[in-house]
Amino acid sequence: MEYFFCDTHKKLPETYDYLDRIKVRLGIKIHYLSDKRGFEHWLAIHDGLLPSPQMRWCTVKMKIKPLEDFVGDDEAISYIGIRADENREGYISTKPNIKPVFPLKERGLVKADIIRLLEESGIGLPDYYRWRSRSGCFFCFFQRKYEWVMLAQEHPDLFQKAVEYESNHADGRTYTWTDGESLLQLLARKDEIIAQHKKLMAKEKNLVITFNLN
Protein backbone atom coordinates (compact mmCIF):
# COMPACT_ATOMS: atom_id res chain seq x y z
CA MET A 1 0.00 0.00 0.00
CA GLU A 2 1.40 3.40 -0.95
CA TYR A 3 -0.10 6.73 0.10
CA PHE A 4 0.00 9.78 -2.08
CA PHE A 5 -1.07 13.40 -1.96
CA CYS A 6 -1.43 15.44 -5.12
CA ASP A 7 0.15 18.69 -4.05
CA THR A 8 -0.75 21.79 -6.05
CA HIS A 9 1.37 23.84 -3.61
CA LYS A 10 -1.73 25.99 -3.17
CA LYS A 11 -3.35 24.15 -0.29
CA LEU A 12 -4.17 25.68 3.06
CA PRO A 13 -1.43 25.47 5.72
CA GLU A 14 -3.92 23.46 7.81
CA THR A 15 -3.92 20.75 5.13
CA TYR A 16 -0.15 20.31 5.28
CA ASP A 17 -0.34 20.21 9.11
CA TYR A 18 -3.04 17.56 8.87
CA LEU A 19 -0.90 15.39 6.58
CA ASP A 20 1.92 15.61 9.14
CA ARG A 21 -0.52 14.51 11.84
CA ILE A 22 -1.68 11.53 9.73
CA LYS A 23 1.90 10.47 9.00
CA VAL A 24 2.84 10.51 12.69
CA ARG A 25 -0.35 8.81 13.88
CA LEU A 26 -0.27 6.01 11.30
CA GLY A 27 3.51 5.77 10.96
CA ILE A 28 3.32 5.97 7.20
CA LYS A 29 5.16 7.71 4.42
CA ILE A 30 3.19 9.85 1.97
CA HIS A 31 4.36 10.57 -1.56
CA TYR A 32 3.78 14.23 -2.43
CA LEU A 33 3.05 14.31 -6.15
CA SER A 34 3.14 17.56 -8.03
CA ASP A 35 3.61 19.16 -11.38
CA LYS A 36 6.99 20.89 -11.21
CA ARG A 37 5.84 23.80 -13.36
CA GLY A 38 3.15 24.87 -10.90
CA PHE A 39 -0.08 26.85 -10.95
CA GLU A 40 1.41 30.12 -12.27
CA HIS A 41 2.81 28.31 -15.31
CA TRP A 42 -0.53 26.75 -16.21
CA LEU A 43 -2.39 29.98 -15.55
CA ALA A 44 -0.12 31.73 -18.06
CA ILE A 45 -0.61 28.89 -20.58
CA HIS A 46 -4.38 29.42 -20.20
CA ASP A 47 -3.92 33.12 -20.79
CA GLY A 48 -5.03 34.07 -17.30
CA LEU A 49 -8.27 32.11 -17.51
CA LEU A 50 -8.98 30.97 -13.97
CA PRO A 51 -9.98 27.33 -13.54
CA SER A 52 -13.69 26.79 -12.92
CA PRO A 53 -16.20 23.91 -12.68
CA GLN A 54 -16.50 24.05 -16.48
CA MET A 55 -12.74 24.32 -17.08
CA ARG A 56 -11.00 22.26 -14.45
CA TRP A 57 -7.56 22.44 -15.96
CA CYS A 58 -6.10 22.68 -12.45
CA THR A 59 -7.18 19.12 -11.62
CA VAL A 60 -6.05 17.70 -14.93
CA LYS A 61 -2.62 19.36 -15.00
CA MET A 62 -1.75 19.44 -11.33
CA LYS A 63 -3.37 16.31 -9.92
CA ILE A 64 -4.33 13.67 -12.49
CA LYS A 65 -1.22 13.95 -14.65
CA PRO A 66 1.25 13.74 -11.71
CA LEU A 67 -0.65 10.73 -10.36
CA GLU A 68 -0.64 8.94 -13.71
CA ASP A 69 3.07 9.68 -14.13
CA PHE A 70 3.73 8.32 -10.65
CA VAL A 71 1.91 5.06 -11.37
CA GLY A 72 3.34 4.72 -14.87
CA ASP A 73 2.48 1.39 -16.45
CA ASP A 74 2.29 -0.55 -13.19
CA GLU A 75 -0.97 -2.32 -12.37
CA ALA A 76 -2.53 -0.29 -9.56
CA ILE A 77 -5.68 -0.07 -7.50
CA SER A 78 -6.47 3.51 -6.56
CA TYR A 79 -8.56 3.79 -3.38
CA ILE A 80 -10.72 6.90 -3.47
CA GLY A 81 -12.18 8.38 -0.29
CA ILE A 82 -15.50 9.63 -1.63
CA ARG A 83 -18.37 9.00 0.80
CA ALA A 84 -21.71 7.39 0.03
CA ASP A 85 -23.51 10.70 0.61
CA GLU A 86 -21.36 12.67 -1.81
CA ASN A 87 -22.71 13.38 -5.23
CA ARG A 88 -19.50 13.27 -7.23
CA GLU A 89 -17.49 10.73 -9.13
CA GLY A 90 -13.90 11.64 -8.29
CA TYR A 91 -11.02 10.52 -10.40
CA ILE A 92 -12.00 8.06 -13.08
CA SER A 93 -8.87 6.71 -14.66
CA THR A 94 -8.45 6.83 -18.39
CA LYS A 95 -5.55 4.40 -18.03
CA PRO A 96 -6.50 0.70 -18.10
CA ASN A 97 -3.81 -0.20 -15.54
CA ILE A 98 -5.32 2.05 -12.81
CA LYS A 99 -8.45 0.60 -11.30
CA PRO A 100 -10.48 2.99 -9.12
CA VAL A 101 -12.10 1.55 -5.99
CA PHE A 102 -14.46 3.44 -3.65
CA PRO A 103 -14.31 1.65 -0.28
CA LEU A 104 -16.32 4.24 1.68
CA LYS A 105 -19.03 4.49 -0.95
CA GLU A 106 -19.26 0.71 -1.29
CA ARG A 107 -19.76 0.32 2.46
CA GLY A 108 -22.41 3.06 2.56
CA LEU A 109 -20.36 5.24 4.90
CA VAL A 110 -21.67 8.80 5.22
CA LYS A 111 -20.21 11.95 6.74
CA ALA A 112 -21.12 11.13 10.36
CA ASP A 113 -19.41 7.73 9.99
CA ILE A 114 -16.20 9.29 8.71
CA ILE A 115 -16.12 11.88 11.48
CA ARG A 116 -16.58 9.10 14.04
CA LEU A 117 -13.81 7.00 12.46
CA LEU A 118 -11.42 9.93 12.48
CA GLU A 119 -12.22 10.82 16.08
CA GLU A 120 -11.93 7.22 17.26
CA SER A 121 -8.62 6.69 15.47
CA GLY A 122 -7.11 9.66 17.29
CA ILE A 123 -6.50 11.60 14.09
CA GLY A 124 -9.43 13.97 14.47
CA LEU A 125 -10.53 16.57 11.96
CA PRO A 126 -8.33 19.04 10.11
CA ASP A 127 -8.26 22.48 11.68
CA TYR A 128 -9.78 24.18 8.63
CA TYR A 129 -12.99 22.26 9.33
CA ARG A 130 -13.94 25.05 11.78
CA TRP A 131 -14.72 27.28 8.81
CA ARG A 132 -14.43 25.29 5.62
CA SER A 133 -16.10 22.08 4.54
CA ARG A 134 -13.48 20.61 2.23
CA SER A 135 -9.77 20.49 1.62
CA GLY A 136 -8.54 21.92 -1.64
CA CYS A 137 -6.59 24.85 -2.90
CA PHE A 138 -7.05 28.07 -0.94
CA PHE A 139 -8.64 29.61 -4.04
CA CYS A 140 -10.79 26.63 -4.94
CA PHE A 141 -13.83 27.78 -6.91
CA PHE A 142 -15.93 25.10 -5.25
CA GLN A 143 -15.87 26.90 -1.90
CA ARG A 144 -18.95 28.68 -0.63
CA LYS A 145 -19.18 32.44 -0.38
CA TYR A 146 -19.05 32.15 3.40
CA GLU A 147 -15.79 30.23 3.10
CA TRP A 148 -14.27 33.03 1.01
CA VAL A 149 -15.23 35.46 3.78
CA MET A 150 -13.58 33.18 6.33
CA LEU A 151 -10.48 32.80 4.14
CA ALA A 152 -10.12 36.60 4.29
CA GLN A 153 -10.35 36.39 8.07
CA GLU A 154 -8.17 33.30 8.69
CA HIS A 155 -5.59 33.84 5.95
CA PRO A 156 -5.70 37.45 4.69
CA ASP A 157 -2.48 36.92 2.70
CA LEU A 158 -3.98 34.00 0.76
CA PHE A 159 -7.22 35.90 0.16
CA GLN A 160 -5.17 38.80 -1.22
CA LYS A 161 -3.29 36.39 -3.49
CA ALA A 162 -6.61 35.05 -4.84
CA VAL A 163 -7.70 38.66 -5.50
CA GLU A 164 -4.50 39.20 -7.50
CA TYR A 165 -5.18 36.14 -9.66
CA GLU A 166 -8.56 37.66 -10.53
CA SER A 167 -7.30 41.05 -11.56
CA ASN A 168 -3.77 40.52 -12.80
CA HIS A 169 -4.35 41.00 -16.53
CA ALA A 170 -2.48 43.71 -18.35
CA ASP A 171 -5.23 44.16 -20.94
CA GLY A 172 -7.87 44.67 -18.26
CA ARG A 173 -9.69 41.35 -18.71
CA THR A 174 -11.26 40.13 -15.50
CA TYR A 175 -12.03 36.60 -14.47
CA THR A 176 -13.64 35.95 -11.12
CA TRP A 177 -13.49 32.93 -8.83
CA THR A 178 -17.20 33.12 -7.99
CA ASP A 179 -20.13 33.73 -10.29
CA GLY A 180 -21.13 37.31 -10.90
CA GLU A 181 -18.83 39.19 -8.52
CA SER A 182 -15.20 39.73 -7.70
CA LEU A 183 -13.74 38.70 -4.36
CA LEU A 184 -13.55 42.31 -3.23
CA GLN A 185 -17.24 42.82 -4.06
CA LEU A 186 -18.00 39.61 -2.20
CA LEU A 187 -16.03 40.76 0.84
CA ALA A 188 -17.91 44.06 0.85
CA ARG A 189 -21.08 41.96 1.42
CA LYS A 190 -19.42 40.12 4.31
CA ASP A 191 -22.10 40.85 6.95
CA GLU A 192 -24.90 39.77 4.63
CA ILE A 193 -23.07 36.54 3.71
CA ILE A 194 -22.38 35.67 7.37
CA ALA A 195 -26.02 36.32 8.28
CA GLN A 196 -27.22 34.09 5.42
CA HIS A 197 -24.82 31.35 6.51
CA LYS A 198 -26.07 31.48 10.11
CA LYS A 199 -29.66 31.24 8.89
CA LEU A 200 -28.79 28.23 6.74
CA MET A 201 -27.00 26.49 9.60
CA ALA A 202 -29.99 27.04 11.91
CA LYS A 203 -32.30 25.61 9.25
CA GLU A 204 -30.10 22.53 8.79
CA LYS A 205 -29.98 22.01 12.57
CA ASN A 206 -33.78 22.14 12.73
CA LEU A 207 -34.01 19.63 9.92
CA VAL A 208 -31.74 17.22 11.80
CA ILE A 209 -33.77 17.59 14.98
CA THR A 210 -37.01 17.04 13.08
CA PHE A 211 -35.51 14.01 11.36
CA ASN A 212 -34.23 12.55 14.64
CA LEU A 213 -37.58 13.01 16.36
CA ASN A 214 -39.41 11.24 13.56
Rule CB under 6 A: which residues touch ligand SF4?
A: 8, 51, 56, 58-59, 62-63, 136-137, 140, 142
**Residue (90 or 108) nearer to ligand SF4, CB:** 90
**For ligand SF4, the closer CB: 58 or 149:** 58
Q: Taking Cα atoms as reference points, which of 152, 194, 28, 25 lies closest to residue 5?
A: 28
Q: Which CB, 49 or 112, lies closer to ligand SF4?
A: 49
In angstroms, give the least distance from the CB of 63 to ligand SF4: 6
In three state form, how does the secondary structure of the chain look?
Answer: CCEEEECCCCECHHHHHHHHHHHHHHCCCEEEECCCCHHHHHHHHCCCCCCCCCCCHHHHHHHHHHHHHHHCCCCEEEECCCCCCCCCCCCCCCCCCEEEECHHHHCCCCHHHHHHHHHHHCCCCCHHHHCCCCCCECCCCCCCHHHHHHHHHHCHHHHHHHHHHHHCCCCCCCCCCECCECHHHHHHCHHHHHHHHHHHHHHHHHHHHHHHHC
CB of 135 to ligand SF4, least distance (A): 7
Q: How far is the CB of 214 from ligand SF4 (least distance, A)?
A: 37
113 vs 127, beta carbon nearer ligand SF4: 127
Closest separation in Å from C-beta 88 to ligand SF4: 11
The CB-of-39 to ligand SF4 minimum distance in angstroms stands at 9
140 or 151: CB nearest ligand SF4: 140
